Amino acid sequence: MKRHGILNSDISRVLSYMGHTDRICIGDCGLPIPDETERIDLAVKFGVPTFMDVLKAVGDDMKIEKIVLAEEIKENNPKVLAEINEYFAGKEIEVEFVSHVGLKEMTKECKAVIRTGETTPYANIILQSGCIF
């Protein structure tokens, strides 16, 4: 049994086979997930687990070189945006903002989408894998 890192077997599996520039998405409970993209559903009830809890767990277990966020988060969810900025502060990570429609389209190319119980608007992020060497 694992002692550290991600305990969820599906998330651990996806992270372990990701290569440089591969992507994974963490989304709120309302984010539509394309049929062709693996769904890892963690949602237990509204608000559980939170978006930030999952982001921190995945982010601590993954080398991230870039994040993609919906432009709409700036006006519609500044609290979560501030928490994202705080979490990534001091790390050399590129940040890209796209339309929410564009972000949803990008999930088709993600290795998986992790669904959280988050209920605040636009609490969605795509993490792009960096190179660990």
Q: Write out the binding residues for substrate.
A: 28, 100, 122-124
The candidate with the shortest Cα–Cα distance to 64, out of 126, 20, 131, 129, is 129
- Residue whose C-alpha is closest to residue 100's, from 76, 130, 128, 127: 76
Task: Report the C-alpha gap between 104 and 125 in whole angstroms.
Answer: 10
Active site residue 20: yes
Annotated catalytic residue, options 5, 9, 12, 20: 20
Length of the chain in residues, anyone? 133
* Residues marked as catalytic: 20
